[in-house]
Structure formats: C-alpha cells, structure tokens
Amino acid sequence: MKIAVLLVFTAAVCCAASCESMASFTLPGTTITSAKIVSAGAFTPPPQASPNPPDPAVFKTLPGFCRITATLKPSSDSDIRIEVWLPAAGWNGKLQSVGNGGWAGIISYPALAAAVAAGYATASTDTGHVGANAKFVEGHPEKLIDFAYRSVHEMTVAAKAMLTAYYGYTPRRTYWNGCSTGGRQGLMEAQRYPGDYDGIVAGAPANYWSHLLPSAIWPAQAVHKDEASYIPASKYPLIHDAALAACDALDGVKDGLIGDPARCRFDPKVLECKGADGPSCLSSAQVEAARKIYAGPANPRTKAEIFPGLEPGSELGWGALAGPEPFGIALDYFRYVVFKDPSWDYRKLNFDADVALADKIDSGLTNAVNPNLKDYFVRDGKLLMYHGWNDQLIAPRNSINYYNSVVKAAGAAKTAESMRLFMTPGMMHCRGGEGPDRFDAVTLMDQWLETGKAPDQMVASHSTGAKVDRTRPLCPYPQVAAYKGSGSADEAANFVCKAP
C-alpha cells in the first residue's frame, strides 16, 4: 500500500529534483555533460555512425522526459558515454536498461524511446567507444574490457543513482532488455553482476564470442573455396522451398514454417543438378557448401563441434554470412583482437589452432557462457531468453546449448523456477522473417516477477505492412507449438504447447 501511495504521489508532483539540477549531481568517475527536459515529441537523435539510422518518426510520439547524458571513466583509458531518460510524468516506478548490437559504439536511441513510451526510466551506453567496428581495440585493452562487460555495469550503477536522486526513491523493479550483443550483455550481467537486475530479457545472445565469430567465417570459407562452390542469392529461395517441402508439415500443419527445425532431416543433395549447373538446381560443389552451412564448424583434428550451424528455414538470409564478402564483425574480431593484423585474410583461419588461440585470448572476457547462475537465481532473479529458428547470424542452437548447460548446473526444477527459453519458428536475427516476430517479452517478464508465476507461453504476431496476419504461441523450451487439428493455422488459439 505504501508503494502504491508513493507512486500516486510522485505521478502527481513528479520529482524530488528538477531535471536541470541533475547537471550538478556527482558520482565517482562520472561527468554529467547535460541534463535537460525534452518536451513531448521534440526529441531528434543526434547523428551516429550507424548502419541503420533510426526513423525520426519513432520519436515523434514520445512523452516528455528528463534526458541526462554523462561520461564514465572507471579506468584511465575509459570514455563510456551513457544516456539516462527519466519520464517527466507517469513513471511506472521501474528501470529498463537496453542493449546494443554488433560492436556497439552507439547509444541505442530507438530502444530508449520504446522503454520511455512504455513508462520506464531507461538507460543506454555506447560501451566506451564510437563507431560500429573494432578498430578501437588497437592499443586500448581497457576499452576492450569496457565493451566486454564493464560499461554496462557502470552504466547500471550510475543510472540507478541518477534515477533515485531525481525521483526521490529507488526503482521498484530493474530490467535488462537486449538482443544479439544485447543478449550477451544480459547474460554477462546475470553471471558477473547478479545484483544489477531483477529480470533479464536476452534475445539471440552473442554470448560465445570466441566460437560464434569463427562460425561466421565458416560459411564464407565454404562458398569461396572456389568459384564452383559459391551459391548465388538467386538460389536461396530454391533451397528454402526444398527445406520447407521436407519439414514444414512435421508439426502437424503446413503453414510455410518449420516449427521445430531440430527434427528436420533435410539434405540439399535432393537439389543436385543431374547435368549442367542451372538456376533450378545446385552443383555438387554448391551442395557441399550448403551442407557445411547447415553443419557449422567443427575442429578438423578432434571433430568436436565449435558452434552449431544455421537451421533449415534460414536460407533466405544466408547472404549475411555466405555472400560476396565475409561478415564484418567476425573480420574485425580476428584482425583487431586475436591477430592484431588489419590485413589478416579470412581464408587463413584455422579451425583448430586459431580457435584455441581465440579462446585463450578471451579467457572469459567477452564470452558469457558460465552456466552457474546460482547467485542470480538465489535473489529471485528471472532470465527470459528467446531466439529465432531462422536466425541467419547466430545459430539458434547456441541458445539451446546454453540453456541446457544451466539445467545441468542448477537442476531442472530450479531452472524452471527462474529461466525460460522461447524458440521462435520462422524468425530471423532478433526480428524479421516469415514467422511471428513481434512479442512483448519485457511485459511478460514484469508479470512473471509481479505474480511469481513463470510464463507458460508467449504470444507472438507477424504483420504485413500494418496488418497482423498471423499469431502463434511461443513455447518454453523444450515444448513446441502443436496444431490442434482444426481452425486457422494463423491463429494462436488453434495451437497448444506440448513436449515434442
């Protein structure tokens, strides 16, 4: 009751401090560079070195908020920029910090906007450098530590302190929300700093950095082995349609999605040309390249899996890793972190010695694969992971591998109390694809913590244009959504979650 009264009171009078007064707020190692009220609909994001600049329309419907920008210097070579956005009215009493993608290097403005629009106070960091590449690593080991884990923790500590000073009380709940690098950041928080967040949403986590990035080189080596091995983008639909023909109906309904690719036994050899190469078949060299993409990299000496391969259904996105050029994030990793040679050639990557070297150099710095979440779970922390089965950048079985490692470490019962993994049929990396890719994981997490009841499904939707044309329940792994046998395959109500 006291909390409810306090929330009503603060909604009426807003804040214990003015936004402008936050400019003089002091924290160790922190310089606040500005603190200003942004009027409703008035925010315009500053220019950033981003491959995908945000749509300005995203910010036009925002409510007013106090925008605080600051620089954090936890080491002598740190230069971590953060932004903390605090709703000027209608704050829900909670903090939602948001993650990055790739090598970060930018503030995540669209994610900040989404959080504020939902009533949250929110925070984002550039992780200590500017620019979406790894050139910052050269001669700056402290900046690599900032990127790996320190910046997010330091931002979290600062954001909580600023929020408390502004509103006059601490947040009732604290959440992390991120995908890809943001997913890795979330898992790193649970593993290294279990007291930072009550609930963590980690999508498609890039958490096994030293194995994920070699796996991104693997398809490039496969299709560029020689001229005959290259699979042109014009053949991706051919392979995709064949995979669907083989495995679409395994879940009881033919709907253009492979509901559980783990059960799919598709072999691209069925497309092998009977004669000369042509647009409607694969050459024998292309068949071999496709098989390698599905298989993923293995150690050539021990035959041990290095990282899972991409799944049947992912073919329309193969151009990211198997296109004309290798994946830039992986190139940067080996050029600037592992070999410190900007001219390093991806064709030279050795999947035995070089992966071992990457593991040695990382040594738990960037990798967030520790399955011991005891300290996070013991304080009733909740972890919600999700991953698209058609992910074209991070093989989805990596999330299953991590989930299973936690089950082994914590036990099935404790894991079921504190962790959920939702595999998403037809969804690509973080979003997009033919399957339902829109869902509100943060609200589901909030309900989980408020009620104490773990979610037994997460309803997702797919839209074409502005129209929703499909809904589907996402099921907690290892359950899958099974068609009930009648009704539209585009309606979630006609599916049930059950063991495969």
Q: Which of 429, 437, 446, 462 is catalytic?
A: 429
pLDDT at residue 8 in the model: 40
Q: Is 391 a catalytic residue?
A: yes
Q: Which of 180, 174, 288, 305 is nearest to 231 (CA)?
A: 288
Q: Is the pTM of this model over 0.85?
A: yes
Under the banding of pLDDT at 50, 70 and 90, the label for residue 58 is confident
The tens digit of pLDDT for each residue in 397-412 reads 999 999 999 999 999 9
- pLDDT at residue 333, as a whole number: 98
The candidate with the shortest Cα–Cα distance to 89, out of 190, 17, 14, is 14
Q: Helix (H, G, I), strand (E, B), or coil: what is residue 418?
A: helix
Residue 12 has what pLDDT? 41
Concatenate the DSSP letters of all residues of 168-223 into one string. Answer: SS--SEEEEEEETHHHHHHHHHHHH-TTS-SEEEEES----HHHHHHHHHHHHHHH
The rounded distance, in Å, linking the Cα atoms of 144 and 128 is 8
- At 50, which amino acid appears? S
What is the residue-wise DSSP string for 429-491? SSS-BSS--B--HHHHHHHHHHH-PPPS-EEEEEEETTEEEEEEEE-BTT-EEEE-SSS-TT-
**Residue carrying the six token digits 């495995």:** 247
Out of 75, 78, 108, 180, the active site residue is: 180
Q: Dmax over Cα atoms in the chain, in whole Å?
A: 78
pLDDT of residue 31: 98
* pLDDT tens, residue by residue, 153-178: 999 999 999 999 999 999 999 999 99
Catalytic, out of 198, 251, 260, 391: 391
Q: How far apart are CA 342 and CA 403, in angstroms?
A: 35
- Whether residue 180 lies in the annotated active site: yes
How confident is the model over 281-295, as a mean pLDDT? 98
Least confident span in 54-68, 200-214, 351-365, 443-457? 54-68
Q: pLDDT at position 54, please?
A: 77
pLDDT band at 51 (very low <50, low <70, confident <90, very high): low
